[in-house]
A and B are shown apart, each in its own frame.
Chain A
């Protein structure tokens, strides 16, 4: 299953609403996960099963979608959200990641 993401990068201001989209080449039902990777750090699981927020993750992050089309939304961008965001399907093996979306602060 191939994963695509758009945009590949974006620059937004503090407080902006930011949306990243992820598309799977075939249905992954709800088995879509989102990760945040800050420079020099390992990835961190933000959202699993399309919309389930991990414990400790700020509520400004949310996920939606099913089947082949998904999105990650940051409702009010904060300085600490500078990172690259990856989607990943866990519906079938081999597992696959999207190419990533780099989020910069304007």
Chain B
């Protein structure tokens, strides 16, 4: 069964750093296109970042230069390193697998990141 489970969320002060992770099972992250999507409380979905099978990465303008997506093939995990966090980064962060060019077909339950002083 294909499954992804996010972890690592928590409370962090503005300007701080946090790394959230996604553990995959039933498939390999090294041969999948993987995304991070976030949802602020009571708001809509915002795409954050993706990593292609060839390792190419893309970021939303709102996080470019502050967030880094990476994968760890031996552990079959996906990470999102978040630096210089802002209050507006507060959200539930979802990991999602994507068939290249198509929809995000496997989602986790998300991990909550709260940026507050």
Binding site for B on A (CB under 8 A): 31, 33, 35, 37, 42-45, 47-49, 54, 84, 86, 88, 90-91, 93-100
Contact = CB atoms under 8 A, between A and B. Distances in A.
A43 B45 contact: yes
Chain B interface size, as a band, is: 20 to 34
Nearest to A99: B44
- In this complex, the member of A91, A94, A96, A98 whose beta carbon has the largest number of chain B beta carbons within 10 angstroms is A94
Contacts, number: 64
A42 B110 contact: yes
A67 B115 CA distance: 39
Nearest to B60: A94
Give 8 nearest A-B pairs by CB, closest first. A48-B103, A33-B103, A93-B58, A42-B107, A45-B103, A95-B47, A97-B45, A100-B44
A48 B101 CA distance: 10
Interface in B1-56: 35, 37, 44-47, 50
A94 B58 contact: yes
